Amino acid sequence: MLILFVFFACNGSSKTEISTEEEKAIKLAEDFIKRNAYTDALLDTSEYKLVRELNDWSDNDSVILKNRRGMLLPKAYGITTDIDSKWLVAFCNCNVSDEKNSCIMGRGVIVSKDGKEVRIAHKPVGLSHLKKNIK
């Protein structure tokens, strides 16, 4: 089973060089969260079909769009590999921060190494002990 409650570092991590493969995974993940209404970006739902997730609790696209909109910052926060050798790209949750206004929780997007599978992780991601901080 894929363990998704990965811990990433939020404060103390330094920016790290990103490989070409990681850049591709990050781009796919950033496109995915934009197309699936997790950011504040305007979305044309006629262009893309929304990918459902367990946390949607509705079959109505309008309700899903309302619940997701603005949930995540549009740029990836960090990247690591999970136990199944897929990329886990982390995004900051816009609504969860500490007293220093630092991002402490987020969501992850799982990207297969070949880029054919891109999906949202169903559990929140704590942003501590990040392997690669890209913010």
Locate the domains of the chain by residue range.
20-133
Give residue 47's pLDDT. 72
- 23-78 pLDDT, tens digit each: 999 999 999 999 998 998 877 667 777 788 887 888 888 888 888 888 899 999 98
Report the pLDDT averaged over residues 78-91. 85
Instruction: Return the pLDDT at 94.
Output: 78
DSSP 40-108: SS---TTTSPPPP-GGG--S-HHHHHHHHTTSB-SS--EEEE-TTS-EEEEEEBTT-B-TT--B-EEEE
- pLDDT of 127 > 80? The answer is no
